[in-house]
Chains A and B, each alone.
Chain A
Amino acid sequence: MRKRTLMAVAVTCVAATLACHKKVSPVARPLPPPPPDTTTPSSRPPAPPEPAQEPVAVPPEPVASDAISSASLDELNRSTLLKPVFFDLDSSDLTSAGQKVLDDNAGTLKRYATWTVTIEGHCDERGTAEYNLALGERRAAAARAYLVSLGIPADRLRTVSYGKEFPFDPGHDEAAFARNRRAHFVITAK
Chain B
Amino acid sequence: MTKTILALALALSAVQLPAQQPQPQQPTPLSQQPTEIGVAIPSEPGAQVRLAVPDLIALSSDAETVAIARIIGQVLWDDLNFEREFSFVARDAYATIPKATSLIDIPFDRWRELNADGLVMGTVQKTGNLLRVEIRLFNVRTQQSAFGKVYSGSPANPRSYAHMAADEIYQTQRALKGVAESKLTFVSDRDGERMSGTVEKRDVKEIYIADYDGDRQQRVTVGRTLNVFPRWSPNGRSIAYTSYRRGAPNIFVSNIYEATMEEVTKGAAENWLPAWSPDGSRFCFASPREGKGYTNLYLVNRDGTGLRKLTDHPSINTSPTWSPSGTEIAFVSDRTGSPQIYVVSADGTGPAQRITTSENYADKPTWSSLPYNEIAYTARTGPGNDIKVIDMATRTVKQLTFGEGTNESPVFAPNGRHVAFTSTRSGKKQIFTVTRDGRDVRQVTKIGNNEQPDWSK
Interface residues, chain A, with chain B CB atoms under 8 Å away: 74, 77-78, 90, 92, 125-131, 133-135, 137-142, 145, 158-162, 165-166, 168, 186
Contact = CB atoms under 8 A, between A and B. Distances in A.
27 contacts: A74-B199, A128-B364, A128-B378, A128-B408, A129-B422, A129-B451, A130-B229, A130-B318, A130-B363, A131-B316, A131-B332, A131-B363, A131-B364, A133-B273, A134-B288, A134-B295, A134-B316, A138-B293, A145-B292, A159-B270, A160-B244, A160-B270, A161-B249, A165-B205, A165-B226, A166-B200, A166-B202
A16 B57 CA distance: 84
A130 B200 contact: no
A186 B195 CA distance: 15
Nearest to A187: B199
B200 A128 contact: no
Contact of B247 (A137, A140, A160): A160
Contact of A131 (B202, B247, B318, B422): B318
A129 B408 contact: yes
Given A77-B199, A137-B293, A161-B270, A130 B288 contact: no
Contacts of A127: 361, 363
B293 A92 contact: yes
Interface in B280-294: 286, 288, 291-294
Interface of B: 197-200, 202, 205, 226, 228-229, 244, 247-249, 268, 270, 272-273, 286, 288, 291-295, 316, 318-319, 332, 334, 338-339, 361, 363-364, 378, 380, 383-385, 406, 408-409, 422, 451-452
A75 to B, nearest CB: 10
A52 B198 CA distance: 32
Contacts of B332: 130-131
Contacts of B205: 165
Given A92-B293, A141-B292, A130 B273 contact: yes
A141 B293 contact: yes
Contacts of B270: 137, 159-161
A112 B197 CA distance: 22
Considering the complex of A and B, which 8 residue pairs feature the smallest CB-CB distances, nearest first? A141-B293, A138-B293, A128-B363, A134-B295, A134-B316, A77-B199, A131-B363, A130-B319
Contacts of A129: 228-229, 364, 408-409, 422, 451-452
A167 to B, nearest CB: 9
A101 B294 CA distance: 24
A135 B292 contact: no
